[in-house]
Homo-oligomer: A and B are copies of this chain.
Amino acid sequence: MYLLKCQTRFKIAAVAAITLLTSLGAHAAHPNLVITTDDVKQMRQAISSNGSTKFATAFESLKAQVDEQIAQPITVPVPKDGGGGYTHERHKKNYQLMYNAGIIYQLSQDDKYANYVRDMLLEYAKLYPTLGLHPKRKMDSQNPGKFFWQSLNEAMWLVYTIQAYDLIYDSLNADNIKTIENDLLRPVSLFTSVGQPSTFNKVHNHGTWATAGVGMAGYVLGEPEWVEKSLYDLEKSGKGGFIKQLEMLFSPQGYYNEGPYYQRFALLPFVTFAKAIENNEPQRKIFEYRDGILLKAIDTTIQLSYNGLFFPINDAIKSKGIDTIELVNGVTAAYGLTNDAGYLDIAKQQDQIILSGDGLKVAQALDNNMTKPYSFKSVAFGDGNDGKQGALVVMRTQVGGDQALLFKPAAQGLGHGHFDKLTWQFYDHGNEIVSDYGAARFLNVEAKYGGRYLPENETYAKHTVAHNTVVVDETTHFNANVEVGNSNYPTLNFFETNEYGTVSSGEISTAYKGVDLERTLALINLPELQSTVALDIFDVVANKAHQLDLPLHYKGQLIDTSFELKANATQLSALGTKNGYQHLWLKAQAQPQSGLAKVTWLNENGRFYTQTSLVKGDESFLFTQIGANDPHFNLRNENGFIRRVEGQKQHKFISVLEPHGEYNPSKEYTLEAVSRVTKLEYSQQGDLTLVELDIKGNSYLVAINKAQTSAKNTFNYQNKEFTLNGRLGVYMMNNNQE
């Protein structure tokens, strides 16, 4: 296997080497990175021929914005501030502005835009040689920048600036070229590559930005070696570099190890550099690499969204979604490559037109109403570069409203990964219902820890208790050790989607020593009731007795419990002292009797949700609110409850989550505010898990086949015979619907 990979790599390298001289020689034509001279011709035509098209509108809009900005004096301040601070934001604005002005120059052919970019580049060329490392860099960091506190931003600066330079190249005189290249672009490229080998060679999104920036500089400045190093690392060993990143950072289905938030972020340099490679050296067939991995990566990023927002696993900022500029670029490239009209559906929602050759194609297709619905699917996205390090599972249904269930028997996802093996999230009617905290961060808000990840990201958000999965003895998965996490991962036992719904099961025995965690989740359609329920069976088996906690973080206001609460009315204490527990206030607790224990909440948009748990009287329910030990008010005060058993070697947490009813105070009606579930019974027959569920007068039998292979099964239940094909069956036992 390794040999095969290496052969493929060397073959690509060989082809590349042969074509290098020709292709780089041909790059006397500028621009020729993402945008080519051919693209420019067509774009100019599109603008001149008709003023009311989407593309022309986008051009006019960007031109107006650039006009306003270049009316201000050029400001290239001496670097001083961290993320969110003035000089940080100014330098970010500058590279974006240079890129935009470069585009407008090419499309308008008006020299003033080129001159503006030239003058700013000359200012930068004056400043750069005077700079040491950034004063706000982290002192123990391997990757400081000069313009910015971290080299990631420096690489992003290069990605934009080298394109801006390419766009205005033909307007420059030899003196300008010399100054800008020698005093700015070459030293920045060298600082970003040989100056920071650990970042440049790293198989990680920071490495992608660095290799993309330096590789494109290689094309523009005629440095084929830089391209080679960007593709195969500084030693051209193939152990790092862009090709290795394409090989290692995505699973065969195009899932990016760190999750969709970082996948989206990583996408831009991947797509940008790949387009530049394609335009300069089509022989490398970069978009065909690994069976079209880049296209799969773009598509998977879309699939990993709900109602326009990415599933916020790991260190995710929750408001990021499909309209982010990185995915706009991605979707634009995907349509350019495939002409698949489903991407136009996404482009329409994004409502942003890129001024590029592919952007023109998208704009014209939207003008011609060629959009077809993009299809969101239930999928288990294999994790790890071999796709076998667990999976990120998405279940979807449209029965009773647009719903999604995310199940995470996925790998750790490097340093931004959370310790949340087998966690889940639930979405209904466009809203987050069972929630994930995401990252503890106020991006770029200086007052909040300089806009960086808050200390509470480490002390709360990453910990297991901040998620919806089992915590053993109040300790975090892998003892919160990232390296241990990275080298262990869950197994995806099975995944199936059929007429009854979708079912998946995963397990892990390395999160805690001597403890097997196995979870089976099913999103079950009940079309007779126009409803969906989520069935959750979490099976814990240990070699000695433990305390087992299963938290559920919900969005909304507690409405009712089927059992009595003992509330901490006049005084609240933190639930624990470490591993995230120190951040939870204990608001109330209860020990429901054997039977069904219900917790009902109401979300902001007026829908009720009831979690019905099947308990034996040994589970306590602890109601919590986030916010203890938070002296700077850094955390959001969200609610949850924890099901807890103590001193158990084995336990099954069994529950059903049921969306129901509507609270409409504006129209003054309230429908089905009370859970309809009246019976929940669990049994096993060999490999078969059988759950009897009575809801709204209907009695259902849910059968899940957990055998190694899912052959056809015939079984008896309550003296009736049933046949199960595949993993999941749902049978109506009677039909008393009122």
Which A positions have Cβ atoms within 8 angstroms of B? 84, 89, 92, 317, 319-321, 323-325, 442-448, 451, 557-560, 565, 567, 569-574, 582, 585, 587-588, 600, 602, 623, 625, 627-633, 636-637, 639, 663, 665-670, 673-674
Contacts and interface: CB of A to CB of B under 8 A. Distances in A.
Contacts of A674: 446-447
B666 A630 contact: no
Contacts of A637: 625, 637, 639
A571 B571 contact: yes
A588 B448 contact: no
Which 3 A-B residue pairings sit nearest by Cβ, starting from the closest? Answer: A567-B631, A447-B560, A558-B633
A558 to B, nearest CB: 4
Contact of A559 (B448, B625, B630, B668): B448
A389 to B, nearest CB: 29
Contacts of A567: 630-632
Contacts of A570: 573-574, 582, 628-629
Main secondary structure of the interface of A (DSSP, over half): loop
A325 B587 CA distance: 39
Contacts of A602: 442, 445
B569 A317 contact: no
B317 A559 contact: no
Given A443-B663, A623-B633, 19 more contacts: A320-B666, A325-B667, A443-B670, A444-B669, A445-B602, A445-B663, A447-B560, A565-B632, A569-B629, A569-B630, A570-B574, A571-B572, A571-B574, A572-B572, A572-B585, A587-B627, A588-B631, A588-B633, A625-B637
A730 to B, nearest CB: 28
A613 B625 CA distance: 30
Contact of A670 (B324, B325, B444, B673): B444
A559 B451 contact: no
A582 B321 CA distance: 42
Contacts of A636: 557
Contacts of A587: 627, 633
A325 B320 CA distance: 37
B84 A451 contact: no
Given A567-B631, A625-B637, A673-B84, A319 B446 contact: no
A629 B574 CA distance: 17
Contacts of A588: 631, 633
Nearest to A574: B570
A447 B599 CA distance: 12
B600 A666 contact: no
A684 to B, nearest CB: 34
A639 B627 CA distance: 12
A602 B319 CA distance: 15
A561 B139 CA distance: 27
B631 A670 contact: no
A636 B92 CA distance: 40
Contacts of A320: 665-666
Contacts of A448: 559-560
Given A569-B628, A574-B570, A445 B633 contact: no
Contacts of A628: 569-570, 572
A559 B447 contact: yes
A674 B84 CA distance: 11
Contacts of A325: 667
A665 B317 contact: yes
A637 B633 CA distance: 14
A204 B448 CA distance: 51
Given A665-B320, A666-B323, A565 B631 contact: yes
6 contacts: A89-B670, A320-B666, A324-B666, A445-B670, A447-B600, A557-B636
Contacts of A324: 666-667
A324 to B, nearest CB: 6
